[in-house]
Amino acid sequence: MDSLTQAALGGALGGAVLGSRLGRGAIVGGALLATLPDLDVLIDYGDAVANFSEHRGFSHSLLVLAPLATLLAWALSRWKPAPGFGRWWAFTTLVLLTHPLLDAFTSYGTQLWWPLGAPVALNSVFIIDPLYTLPLLIAVLIALIKPPALTALSVGLGLSSAYLAWSLVAQQWMTGRVENVLAERGLEGAPLMVQPMPFSTLLWRATAVAPDRRLEMVTGVFDGDQPLYVEVFPRDPGLQAQAEQLTDGRRLAWFTGGFLDYRRDGDRLVVTDVRLGVPGAHPFQFVIADQGLDGWQPLTSSRLPRPMVNEEAWPALWRRTFALAPVLCLRSQTAGDSVAACR
């Protein structure tokens, strides 16, 4: 999630645990500590693919943060014994561990068990979601103005937690709709990702990957029995196989769960993470190889500039979210009254 949200969550937890003892200091300390895991963005791992896939790595690992929280609690209890080690431990553990756990609800991927296992991505909340953040932010502001405000903090934490639970329920609801469409097309076993469109859990994007094509659908809470419009994007299984012979290609496939697009750009091999952004405006596109006489030769990976979003995309998103337009065309980032608008 974004830094403001993480700080609000850390501040609310800090105030709930130690606000009655430390007042505003508990909120400010919790907010600052909650941003610590994201400082890994300052590390240069050597190339674009490494920087992309190592983010939310060791600094977000529960296996690293749990002992770190204990060590910090010991140090803080030596500095200020009054709350006691147990309270300090609850403070540091809750603030630090909820950061990666919240990140795991997004689509980017969080290596909760680094250096073991694959990244975890539940895909149920967008990286910026005001409906999650606002209850926490309001509670924290109330507690800063009139500490300890334990009731306000409890309400804020309860509402935000309930929203996360709702996101999982809504995701399963939307998944059921999409799976019916895939079954009709004989793609029941295709890898499927269902995630919210920007800024809420009211509109969802579903991506299914077959060897030779990728299917994209948009469905929402207010859609009723409206049939789903399916957009089809071609894939090149041969190019995918060649990319996966390269170290960066395998790394990207591992980090994204295989939700990738492969294309030639002149003599360059470009791999795109199709989980993030929308078709035509995916922010993570990497050049990983160059075409030589002996086939694809690996390069020090680089990231292409982020494409500009169509200026009509945001009003189109708003209209589609509230079913004011029945179709959102992902390819053109426009809304329409029928599928003809997408062709």
- Same structural domain, 273 and 133: no
In the prediction, which pLDDT does 337 show? 79
- Same structural domain, 52 and 161: yes
Which residue, 101, 97, 98, is CA-closest to 121?
A: 101
The range of the structural domain enclosing residue 248 comes to 236-303
Q: Residue 315 domain-assigned?
A: no
Tell me: the pLDDT tens digits for 276-315? 998 888 999 999 999 988 889 999 999 999 988 888 888 9
Instruction: Tell me how many degrees the CA angle 210-216-217 measures, rounded to the nearest 5.
Output: 130
Q: Residue 173 domain-assigned?
A: no
| First-to-last C-alpha distance (Å) of the chain | 35
Q: Residue 58 domain-assigned?
A: yes
Mean pLDDT, residues 205-223 taken together: 95
109-113, 134-138, 336-340: segment of lowest average pLDDT: 336-340
Mean pLDDT, residues 311-320 taken together: 88
- Same structural domain, 125 and 273: no
For residue 102, the one-letter residue type is L
Of 168, 184, 211, the residue at which a domain comes to its end is: 168
Q: How far apart are CA 329 and CA 317, in angstroms?
A: 10
For residue 29, the one-letter residue type is G
When comparing pLDDT for 281 and 250, which is higher?
Answer: 250
Name every residue whose Cβ is closer than 8 Å to that of residue 149 and which is 6 or more positions away in sequence. 15, 19, 139, 142, 143
Q: How far apart are CA 66 and CA 31, in angstroms?
A: 18
- Same structural domain, 158 and 242: no
Tell me: the pLDDT tens digits for 161-203? 999 999 999 999 999 999 999 999 999 989 999 999 999 999 9
**Max Cα-Cα span within the chain:** 71
- Same structural domain, 30 and 122: yes
pLDDT at 113 over 90: yes
- Same structural domain, 160 and 242: no
Tell me: the pLDDT tens digits for 257-270? 999 999 999 999 99
Which residue, 305, 336, 55, 333, is CA-closest to 205?
A: 333
- Same structural domain, 155 and 243: no
Q: Residue 213 domain-assigned?
A: no
In the prediction, which pLDDT does 6 show? 98
- Same structural domain, 260 and 145: no
CB atoms within 10 A of CB 323: 15
- Same structural domain, 71 and 156: yes
Q: Residue 210 domain-assigned?
A: no
- Same structural domain, 15 and 162: yes
Tell me: the pLDDT tens digits for 68-78? 999 999 999 99
Q: Residue 328 domain-assigned?
A: no
- Same structural domain, 248 and 120: no
Cβ atoms 222, 204 nearer than 8 A: no
In the prediction, which pLDDT does 212 show? 94
Tokens of 135: 């209850």
pLDDT at 342 over 90: no
In the prediction, which pLDDT does 294 show? 84
DSSP letters, 217-263, are EEEETT-TTPPPPEEEEE--HHHHHHHTTSHHHHHHHHHHTT-EEEE
Name every residue whose Cβ is closer than 8 Å to that of residue 319 and which is 6 or more positions away in sequence. 325, 335
Instruction: Say whether pTM exceeds 0.85.
Output: yes
Q: How far apart are CA 146 and CA 29, in angstroms?
A: 17
- Same structural domain, 147 and 61: yes
- Write down the residue that tokens 């400082």 correspond to: 39
Q: Residue 131 domain-assigned?
A: yes
In the prediction, which pLDDT does 343 show? 64
Q: Residue 19 domain-assigned?
A: yes
For residue 306, the one-letter residue type is R
Q: Into how many domains does the chain fold?
A: 2
